[in-house]
Amino acid sequence: MTEELKGQLAVVTGAARGIGAAIGKQLASMGATVILAARDKARLDQVRQEIEAAGGTAHIAQLDLLDESSIASLAKTIQTRHGSRCDILVNNAAIGLIGKPLIEMSPADWDTLMNTNLRGPYLMVRALAPLMIAAKSGHIVNISSLAGRNPLPNGAAYSASKWGLNGLTYSIAEELRPHNIRVSVIAPGSVNTSFSHSDKNADKKIQPSDVARIVAMLVTQAPQSFVSEVLLRPTQKP
């Protein structure tokens, strides 16, 4: 345990497993109080217990990014129970629906993917950035993908959502800079999580902890600068 983030509150979406769980554990190990947000309460409880066993502090919040009222409820909880404070927001939750050509994707699946991967982060920023503006400080980190910079056949909708998330990130970074809020995006390649749908060598893939360490670096930068984008690639192609 360290204390770089002592006294700070961090919210991490998609925190029940994989990258989100690793980010939650990393920030808690640095002294932050972490709100682990996702739909799977049982898995959230497990991650919370692991954080507390290591000496950290975490709370869980069942969150459905498809439900605007669920996000509003989280914001209200932060205002009433955590002193209207949100120092760090990590928008990590996403779905893939990768494997079929775009013309075989139903409009319902398209809407679910876009609402999760792009509308969800927008709603989270809309709900929590005002708390950062009031405090005149904060960090927002959006977890994108190299698929947001490169073509992804049979994953066009996913790729489009991440291109959109990149554009959202760069634009709100400019909007929020006057309020001393830094907004960054991390774009990893193949990460060794259950989200991945490939036969690539798991040992050569980026690990969730690799992404978590980048988040830690971003939220502990010196105040006069910020890293707007990190492209994270495996050393050896898996």
Tell me whether residue 122 is one of the annotated catalytic residues.
Answer: no
Q: Are 230 and 166 in contact (CB under 8 A)?
A: no
Indicate the SS3 state at residue 188: strand
> What interhelical angle do 156-176 and 107-114 show, nearest 10?
30
As beta bridge partners, residue 185 has 142, 229
Options 158, 181, 191, 216, the catalytic residue = 158
Look up residue 113 and give its two tokens.
């993917």
Phi and psi at residue 139, in whole multiples of 5°?
A: -130, 130
Look up residue 96 and give its two tokens.
């893939």
Cβ neighbours of residue 142 under 8 Å, at least 6 residues apart?
90, 91, 121, 165, 168, 169, 183, 184, 185, 186
Helix (H) / strand (E) element for 182: namely strand 181-188
Look up residue 117 and give its two tokens.
């991967």
Q: Locate tokens 């890293």: which residue?
A: 227
Q: How far apart are CA 3 and CA 203, in angstroms?
A: 31
Look up residue 104 and give its two tokens.
């075989």
Which amino acids are annotated catalytic? 158
